[in-house]
A and B are shown apart, each in its own frame.
Chain A
């Protein structure tokens, strides 16, 4: 009986395996072979909302590029893998994309930790890697490029503006991990220059759901400004409870990345009137942005504003396209040379890739939510340099600005 069951199982397995092999697409030959791009995003797990948005952006870019004839006449094929926001998974999935799926380029990830795990894999396999998320200082490597900005670009114009309009006593609340700490360090160094003071700073672990004690403490300290560096769930929960306690009537509340358009579906009317920094806003009056916004809403039919994560993924694929077309090749050395110093037109306006460290120069926006739209109250007049990347290559003096 047992042997029968086992052999039945083996037979089923073989049957499924045969079916999978039979159904697999034949490897096409010749010059019309599509360009294969491996994309790693956190599609499940704690960063899933970010990963899902980024996926929307890059799929829209793929559709748009393929409709216009692809890259160098070749169709773009995206092969997605879920990195679950875990570095070991990201590295393993990257190896799978390169070894098994034979991708030409690798893009994606959702955090510095996963990116740092993927880079050694792409470097060893000699693949060009484009990091598509905004985040703190990034790892520098010769064959790594970035289409997302850094907190520095988002905050450098914002902090002086906010101090001038809302006051000098700042209180910080954040989630306890690297990104919020580095965002707050950035803001604090700016506050010091502006002569503003930090009256409180505290961090709470992932998954904190009860904030009343922290809220009571902030209320008692009476700051002018409460700055939230709590992305996603924790920031949303904090703000809902703080609003419940009427904290927003006693002080100005802002933050980064708490109030990014990414999280608008969770806030809606609650964030009406909030002034916050953004690296992208749908209201930016620019032809490439209008087209992007139209395509996005036509494809996804969402009533919510587009966020910077979808946008930097969208820009990432267009950046690769510009590089490959300028190089007239998918050879990574040629594409690298082509991308260095390139300037492309994007939904966030002109973007310039610094030859020295492959980071983009771009604008920062200060937005205010008015009737559910992130309206621009100020934007930086010229493209901003990001802070430099870090890593072996970054220590090379010639690589710095």
Chain B
């Protein structure tokens, strides 16, 4: 065990906090789509990947990181919207596995199409900020701090959207009672379109933001989707507060046990805790019991 060292403690705190915020950023879209629509979007990882590839295309064409970051959520939102219109719309009201299968299949297709176009070779995305910041006696990578800030912005933006806007009111009305909302003039079909596009856009922006820190390949979403599901399940299905709780629990368990054990062991620890958690609180931390 490392001896007491304030700088190290702060650094490990930031390591844990950044991991938590990355997880929240990645899981947010998944949770919103589930919470609003009851759809488990198995293509979430592929939308995440698509966001990174939009950035790659912009970068290859000579565009800046910021342009790519701006375009990624837009392009992925259009994709998500198209999937909702063409496929998912026809499956609402059926057994939940129908949408699981449809989105899973769509994810597979998307991954292979990207591999056909860009090949399976891992690609590089150059981050816009290099170097480190010095503060409180430690140095920490600037881009990681930027990512943490962006994640907080996304959480803030989504919270405002659902609590302070007309879209939010309609959205909450649709969740509570679709028929009544519809009778009162809310276009619920449109709400579903917008929600799926929003969830997709969040996946896209997460992929673009994470891409300078990871290996960009057609299969990159797979490594992230598993933890996203952990976050959503542990936190409680379909609420923003749930995502925050899930991110904190999943991220901190893995980060803290990573300090003391090799990564292989700490991932096993995480899985064990998630399983026990599921047994004790199947609806997650903020989920209503019963």
Contacts and interface: CB of A to CB of B under 8 A. Distances in A.
Interface of A: 44-46, 48-49, 51-53, 176, 202-205, 207-210, 212-214, 216-217, 220, 232-234, 236-237, 240-241, 244-246, 262-263, 265-270, 304
Contact of A232 (B15, B122, B226): B122
A94 to B, nearest CB: 22
B141 interface: yes
B215 A216 contact: no
Interface string B203-239: 0000000001111111110111010000000000000
Given A213-B15, A246-B132, A265-B121, A233 B215 contact: yes
Interface string B144-186: 1000000000000000000000000000000000000000000
6 contacts: A49-B122, A176-B263, A209-B223, A244-B143, A246-B141, A266-B215
Contacts of A44: 112, 115, 120
A233 B130 CA distance: 21
Nearest to A51: B120
B121 A49 contact: yes
A241 B213 contact: yes
A203 B263 contact: yes
Contacts of A51: 120
Interface string B20-43: 001000000000000000000000
Nearest to B256: A213
A6 to B, nearest CB: 21
A203 to B, nearest CB: 6
Contacts of B90: none
By secondary structure, the B interface counts as: helix
A269 B143 CA distance: 18
Contacts of B127: 244
Q: Across the A-B interface, give the 5 residue pairs with the lowest CB-CB distance, nearest first.
A: A266-B122, A236-B215, A48-B120, A204-B263, A212-B15
A237 B124 CA distance: 10
A244 B223 contact: no
Contacts of B124: 265-268, 270
Contact of A236 (B8, B115, B122, B259): B122
A240 B15 CA distance: 15
Nearest to B210: A209
B264 A232 contact: no
Contact of A237 (B112, B141, B215): B215
